[in-house]
Structure formats: structure tokens, C-alpha cells
């Protein structure tokens, strides 16, 4: 039986300056093998016919976006001061555009997606009546807490620890409701699955591969270049 992918929309928050990256050029606009980092993700989603819209939230003074891949399914909007605010602005844009398909959110600086894995992720999500599903990786490292940043306070059992990644996809109505019920500072959210903390909705984990890195530092570009070459080969 063929697994179906239903229509969905994408939000790519791309308003961040990437202060840890150490470059005047935002990391999502750096080039790997002659292609902008963000274009790698854009091309993955455009290759899926069920993707009805890609909303890219940029900063107010962003001229780099003019070099991005062009397509009628892409909307460029101004985002917020934080990643979470940009995603929420993107969500409001979808609502005002009359789009109520389920919403996929992906970090602009995660270029190493594999089309086959993204399709499998979508098929898994649409196979049931799920509230949400996220890319995630079980922790492979020993974890510690420290109250002062110098001395270990305690060890953490890693057997229940998962590293949340993107893409993350959510049922439109469930995401709308989660935003409506969220009373804390939206700018402090590190990912949208956190909106569902304390709610009855279950967000499923989709175990991903280690290739799905997020570019944070300059040296990550070389690793991403290597991984992308391996994917293409």
C-alpha cells in the first residue's frame, strides 16, 4: 500500500544574523559548492509536489535573499528579532493567505537534508492523525549539569534524552491552538514542539541520521560540504 503525502506548507526562519558564526554574511547565505546554504533546503521542499507554499522570514535589512532560488510557491516576508518570533510571523502570514495545510518548520542553516528521508518523514506523519512529529536524534554523549559553568553538578541519564532537530511538522489546527494557549515569552522558544509542553497533544519523534547538522560555526561549512557531497554521490 502506497503511503500518501498530503498538502503541506513550509516556514523557513531566516532572519538570524548568526553571531556565533563569526562572519558579516549570515550563515544561511554562505555558499557550499557554489550554492547558498538556504537554497539546499528550498530545493528539497520544491521537489515535493505536495508542498504548496514556502514562507521565508528574513530580517528587515536583508538583501542577500535576492540571490535565493525563485519560485511562484515562495513568499518572502519580514521576520522578528528571534527565530521563534519569525516562525510565528510566518504562521500568521499563512493564515492571512488563507492557507490551512499542515505546517513544516525547518532551520535555514540545516542544508544536509535527504529528499528520500524527508518524504519518509512526511509519509510517517500523514499515516495517522498526529498532532506533530519532529526530526530527533538520541543522545550519544555523556551529559552533565553545572550550576556555575565550571564544576559538574550531576550526571544525566542519557537513555531518555533526544536532541530535537528540524524539520518539525504540525497539524495546522493543533499548532494554532498551541500558539493561542502559550502564555510565556515566545522569543524564548528554541523550537516549536516546546509549544506543546503541558498540553495533551503527543508530538512524535522521527529518528534521524547524524548528517542533519546545523551550521553554527565557520568550520561547520566544511563538514556540511563533505556531507552534501556524500548525499549527492
Task: Give per-residue pLDDT as tens, 9-23.
Answer: 999 999 976 555 556
CA distance 168 to 71: 23
What pLDDT is stored for residue 18 in this prediction? 59
Check residue 188 and give left, alpha or beta (phi > 0: left; psi -120 to 50: alpha). alpha
Task: Give per-residue pLDDT as tens, 124-176.
Answer: 999 999 999 999 999 888 889 999 888 999 998 888 899 999 999 999 999 99
Task: Give per-residue pLDDT as tens, 88-137.
Answer: 999 999 999 999 999 999 999 999 999 999 999 999 999 999 999 999 99
Express as a percent the part of the chain with pLDDT over 90: 83
Task: Give per-residue pLDDT as tens, 171-221.
Answer: 999 999 999 999 999 998 999 999 999 999 999 999 997 789 999 999 999
For residues 162 and 179, is the Cβ–Cβ distance under 8 A? no
CA distance 172 to 16: 25
CA distance 86 to 67: 20
Q: Where are the domains of the chain?
A: 8-182+189-232
Q: Is 56 helix (H, G, I), strand (E, B) or coil?
A: strand
CA distance 229 to 192: 30
- The CATH number that domain 8-182+189-232 falls under is 3.90.550.10
CA distance 35 to 24: 18
User: What value does the mean pLDDT take over residues 39-43?
Assistant: 98
CA distance 149 to 146: 5
Q: Where do the DSSP E strands lie in the chain? A: 8-14, 31-32, 35-36, 51-58, 74-78, 102-105, 132-138, 143-145, 154-156, 162-170, 203-207
Amino acid at each position: 500500500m502506497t503511503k500518501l503525502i498530503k498538502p503541506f506548507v513550509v516556514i523557513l526562519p531566516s532572519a538570524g544574523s548568526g553571531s556565533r558564526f563569526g562572519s558579516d554574511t549570515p550563515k544561511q547565505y554562505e555558499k557550499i559548492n557554489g550554492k547558498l546554504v538556504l537554497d539546499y533546503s528550498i530545493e528539497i521542499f520544491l521537489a515535493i509536489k505536495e508542498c504548496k507554499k514556502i514562507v521565508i522570514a528574513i530580517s528587515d535589512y536583508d538583501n542577500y535573499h535576492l540571490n535565493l532560488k525563485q519560485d511562484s510557491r515562495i513568499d518572502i516576508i519580514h521576520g522578528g528579532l528571534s527565530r521563534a518570533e519569525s516562525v510565528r510571523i510566518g504562521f500568521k502570514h499563512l493564515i492571512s493567505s488563507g492557507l490551512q495545510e499542515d505546517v513544516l518548520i525547518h532551520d535555514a542553516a540545516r542544508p544536509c537534508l535527504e529528499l528520500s528521508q524527508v518524504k519518509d518523514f512526511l509519509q510517517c506523519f500523514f499515516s495517522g492523525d498526529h498532532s506533530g512529529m519532529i526530526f530527533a536524534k538520541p543522545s550519544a554523549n555523556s551529559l552533565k549539569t553545572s550550576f556555575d559553568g565550571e564544576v559538574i553538578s550531576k550526571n544525566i541519564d542519557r537513555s531518555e534524552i533526544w536532541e530535537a532537530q528540524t524539520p518539525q511538522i504540525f497539524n495546522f489546527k493543533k499548532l494554532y491552538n498551541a500558539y493561542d494557549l502559550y502564555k510565556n515569552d515566545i522569543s524564548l522558544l528554541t523550537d516549536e514542539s516546546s509549544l506543546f509542553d503541558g498540553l495533551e497533544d503527543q508530538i512524535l519523534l522521527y529518528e534521524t541520521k547524524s548528517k542533519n547538522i546545523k551550521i553554527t560555526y565557520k568550520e561547520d561549512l566544511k563538514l556540511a560540504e563533505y556531507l552534501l557531497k556524500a548525499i549527492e554521490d
